[in-house]
Amino acid sequence: MSGTSTKTRSDYTEGSIIGSILGMGLPSMFGFISQNIYGLVDTFWVARLENGESAVAAVTFFGTIMWLFFSFNQLIGPGSVAIISRRYGEKEYDRAETAIKETLALKLFFGLLMGGLGLIFLSDMLYLMGARDIALEQGIAYGRVMFMGIGIMYATYSIYTAMRGIANPNMSMWLMISSNILNMILDPIFIYGFAFIPAMGIEGAAVASVVSFTITFGVGMYLLSSDYTNVKLHWVSKVPMSINSMWKIVKIGIPAWLGSMSFSSARLVITPLIATFGTSVVAAYGVGNQVTHFGIAILVGIGLGLGSLIGHNIGGKKYDRARKTGDQAIMLGVGIMTVFGIVSFFFARPIMGMFFDSPETIEYGVTMFRIMAIGFPFMGLFMMVEEIHMGVGMNTPGMIANIVHAWPMEVLLIFLFTQHFGFGVESIWWIITLSGSVTAAAFYLYYRGGKWLTAEV
């Protein structure tokens, strides 16, 4: 064991398993729920701009592009979760500290690189996505600001990851919640103007996001450099940073990145196919995504806490507890998404009515919601299994599942059904729902084989 500190550190590998899952997962869940509430609030204010439907469509178009660019975040994220949490579980605190610093350095580097590429190709990507006229102009205005801040966004998410990895999930939660509250306060100020701040329109929504992330990153670095966390960052660490260990982080993340990029790039193809049915459908799809992401935020929150917890258990060689932790987390994820699916199905109309006045747009959203709600329990299953594998640094199975799911089972079928067989937009929602359900069931069968218990990092 490295480190000379006598500090008492949190240990979630003892006691109640479900208590440990909730202890690590609930703070992350509440943090990500707050982020999704911010997303809904952001959409609410943007929808009330002049040409509100076009503005929501613009954010939807750019959001799909951002999915692709945030897939590069996966080059570093999964490796950092596996290594930081594993080193913490092994009580190698000095090595955990170095892994955090290496993660932040990698995130800032890739963020600057991706932001530069995004600025160069933004207008072309939006056009290819199907954005036209006002939606194209608004997408460019929004996207330019977001791409300028993407490096800080990448790094801020690693602040949250680091805190979960070193068993400070509550601190991660409060930092994330505070960031999103700040974002929600700044949103209407920058969009519509206040005092000496001019009205910036849709561009103001992006400015609010970048400012909030920047402040959060600064506060997070302060906390990690203090005595408040279980592992403290120093300017000069006992274990030096190295290219080899940074490459290990990236190497672990490559399969997850390929899987995420595959899924995100598939959305770049699917969204223009949806756009052929009109701007109203795209706007409804955008709001539907935001509300669906509310459920996903619950899963991601629990899943990220779960990934770190699995790493702690495997690092401490508690393999039986790791398996029981995975099984109980899967049941929890499926149960949560079953409830979320029921609520979404029965309250689809009032939810869409909060954002749109057009009966046509509302109807598109209601239909989409009710079809997709059927697959929500399987979404819970897939995401929990994926996070378990990420927690041990075993990302190739998830990559294969994402690629097969995204391209042969979604893009190809959607293209054939809508462009060749003449089916309507409802066929897209059915294909997305059924393909996700089949993939989740197959991934679960692989999980039951237990290969993830012997993964090394």
DSSP letter string, 54-98: HHHHHHHHHHHHHHHHHGGGGGTHHHHHHHHHHHHHTTBHHHHHH
Is position 362 within any domain?
yes
Structure tokens at 428: 């897209």
Asked whether the whole model's pTM tops 0.95, one would answer no
In a domain, 325, yes or no: yes
Does a structural domain hold residue 6? no
Q: Is residue 182 part of a domain?
A: yes
Residue 289 pLDDT:
78
Whether 369 is covered by a domain: the verdict is: yes
Q: Output the pLDDT for position 159.
A: 94
Q: Which of 290, 211, 282 is nearest to 39 (CA)?
A: 290
- Give 28's Cβ-side CA count (13 Å radius): 31
Q: How far is CA 10 from the centre of its chain?
A: 26
CB atoms within 10 A of CB 433: 19
Cα–Cα distance between 416 and 430 in angstroms, integer?
A: 14
pLDDT score at 127: 86
226: phi then psi, degrees, rounded to nearest 5: -105, -170
Q: Which domain holds residue 302?
A: 17-454
pLDDT of residue 64: 77
CA dist 217 and 379 (Å) reads 31
Intra-chain end-to-end CA distance of the chain, in Å? 17
- Asked whether residue 10 is assigned to any structural domain, the reply reads no
Which pLDDT score is estimated for 18? 86
pLDDT at 10: 67
For residue 302, tell me if it sits in a domain: yes
- Side chain identity at 101, as an amino acid letter? K
Q: What is the distance between the alpha carbons of residues 129 and 140, in angstroms, rounded to a whole number?
A: 12
- What pLDDT, on the 0 to 100 scale, is given for residue 261? 80
- Domains in the chain: how many in total? 1
Give the SS3 label for residue 15. coil
Q: What is the pLDDT along the chain (457 residues), one digit of tens a residue?
A: 444 444 566 667 787 888 888 888 888 788 777 877 777 787 788 877 777 777 888 887 887 788 778 777 778 888 888 899 889 888 899 999 999 999 999 999 999 999 999 999 998 888 887 777 788 888 898 889 999 999 999 999 899 989 988 988 889 889 999 998 998 899 889 988 888 888 888 888 889 999 999 999 999 999 999 988 999 998 888 889 999 999 999 998 899 888 878 877 888 788 888 888 987 888 888 888 777 877 777 787 788 778 888 988 888 888 999 999 999 999 999 999 999 999 999 999 998 898 888 888 899 999 998 999 999 999 999 999 999 998 888 989 999 999 999 999 999 999 999 999 989 999 999 999 999 999 999 999 999 999 999 887 6
Q: How many CB atoms lie within 10 A of CB 140?
A: 18
Domain contains 58: yes
Confidence (pLDDT) at 326:
94
